[in-house]
Structure 1
Amino acid sequence: MDIDSFWELIEECRSQGRGRDGQLASLRDELSRRSLTEAVQFQVRLDEVTHEAFTWDLWAAADRILGGWCSDDGFCYFGLWMVGLGREAFARAVIDPDSLADTPEVQCLVGRPRELWNDDWPEWESLDHVAMEAYGLLTRADDDCGDAFYEAVEATEGAVGGNRGPRGEQWDVRCEGEAMRKLPRLSTMFPLRPLVR
């Protein structure tokens, strides 16, 4: 499965408009009709794509949207959610994180208390498990296919060396001046109390 095929699957699920659970079910069904190799390659492509989004500027955008505090896990789930926005929106956000302000998925959050976001919350942890679930269906394994699946993913990805930390320079989105300079639209849409220094 090449990167274009990966994004075609994501776009196909998005076009069904059945919410994240429906999209996951559709994706799981489609992957479970393919080969074990394709299920593994889907995960490899997902890992590659989310690594593209592993930047301090995108983490700051996630921090801003989420109220100034986004954990390590929360940022990983945010990156998976960004994949669900589709290829075009994802690519724009990697280049310009403030472009997330243009997405309907972010616009629908503006002005709403975070405790009411429910299914609109900008994270999609379960996307990271869908290929393994399809792999389990293909192998007819119960819940014990995880080790074999991740060994196959690791063997396909190969050894990844170097620093796996976020790219770019870390900065504090709670500093309003810098936030307004780097993320002007998101800063306006999701105001925070300024950080007192």
Structure 2
Amino acid sequence: MTDEAFWHLIARAAEQPGDRDERAEWLTEELTRLPVAQIVDFAVRLHAVRARADTPGLLRAARLIHDGVCTDEVFRSFQLWLLTLGRAAFDAVVADADALADLAPVRELAARPMREWSAQDWPEWESLDFAAHDAYGESAERALDEELSELGVAHTAPTAPLSREPVVLPRLTALFSG
């Protein structure tokens, strides 16, 4: 699977009607139509792309947006949500986490108190992580984690490196500071 095919599937999934779980189900269905090797490749690419978002800046951004609460699971789900913003936006925020302040979905969140966010408003997409696993389970006789482990891809928590210097996100901080 090419990078273009991967990002095309992510974009199409994000455009589907319904909630995030329904979008992930749509993606699972699309993946089941592919050969098993392409399902594995999708999972490998998802892991690699998500891992690019393991940065101190994005960890700080997730903490700001989530009002200081950001477990490993929340951060991983936040990273997966970043994919739904599209390839260009994802690349921009990986390069500069403060660029999140320029994105409409983030500005819309900042404009409302967190207590008013619906379940679908939260910047996370946990079920995206399971689409390839579910598709693979329908097409193969063993778990995708076994296949990925043989390829040296572990399903681990995010590992944003600690920064020696404080991460400063002035625009994002201004959006979420009050």
- Class of the TM-score when normalised by the shorter of the 2 chains: 0.7 to 0.9
User: For residue 150 of structure 1, what is the aligned residue in structure 2?
Assistant: 145
The separation in 1 between residues aligned to 2:150 and 2:99, in whole angstroms, is 35
Q: Does 1:122 align with 2:116?
A: no
Aligned to 1:166: 160
2:164 and 2:45 mapped to 1: Cα distance? 26
Q: Deviations over 1:112-141 (max 9, x none)?
A: 2323322110111111111011112223x6
Per the TM alignment, residue 92 of structure 1 is displaced from its structure 2 partner at its CA by 0.4
Q: How far apart, CA to CA, are the structure 2 residues paired with 1:56 and 1:125?
A: 20
Q: How does 1:66-85 map to 2 (within 5 A)?
A: 66-85=66-85
Distance 1:65 1:159 in 2: 29
Distance 1:53 1:10, change over 3 A: same
Structure ranking higher on relative contact order (CA contacts 8 Å, 6+ apart)? 2
Please state how far the C-alpha of 1:70 moved relative to its aligned partner.
1.2
CA 1:114–1:159: 2 relative to 1, 3 Å: closer
Aligned length: 174
Structure with larger Rg: 1
Flag the 1:154–1:12 CA change in 2: closer, same or farther, 3 A: same
Whether the aligned pair in 2 keeps the contact of 1:56 and 1:170 (CA below 8 Å) is: no
Give the RMSD, CA atoms, in angstroms.
2.2
Contact in 1 for aligned 2:20/2:127 (Cα 8 Å): no
Runs (4+) off by over 4 Å:
none
The answer to whether the Cα contact below 8 Å between 2:98 and 2:172 also exists between their aligned partners in 1 is yes
Whether contact under 8 Å (1:41, 1:153) holds in the other structure is no
Structure 2 unmatched ranges of 5 or more: none
Q: TM-score, normalised by structure 1?
A: 0.79
Gaps of 5+ in 1: 173-177, 193-197
The answer as to whether partners of 2:44 and 2:153 remain within 8 angstroms in 1 is no
Q: Which of residues 184, 192, 196 is equivalent to 2:170?
A: 184
Q: Kindly tell me: are residues 66 and 38 of structure 1, through their superposed partners in 2, closer, same or farther at Cα, counting changes over 3 Å?
A: same
Corresponding position of 1:137: 138
Name the CA distance, whole Å, in 1 between partners of 2:137 and 2:85: 26
- The question of whether the paired residues in 2 share the 8 Å contact of 1:60 and 1:171 is answered with no
Please report the TM-score for the alignment, with normalisation by the length of structure 2: 0.87
Instruction: For residue 16 of structure 1, report the CA deviation from its aligned partner.
Output: 3.4
Change (3 A) 1:69 1:29: same
Rounded to whole Å, the distance in 1 between the matches of 2:17 and 2:99 is 22
Query: 1:13 is matched with which residue?
Result: 13
Residues 114 and 171 (structure 1), Cα distance of their counterparts in 2 relative to 1, 3 Å cut? farther
8 Å Cα contact 1:57/1:168 also seen in 2: no
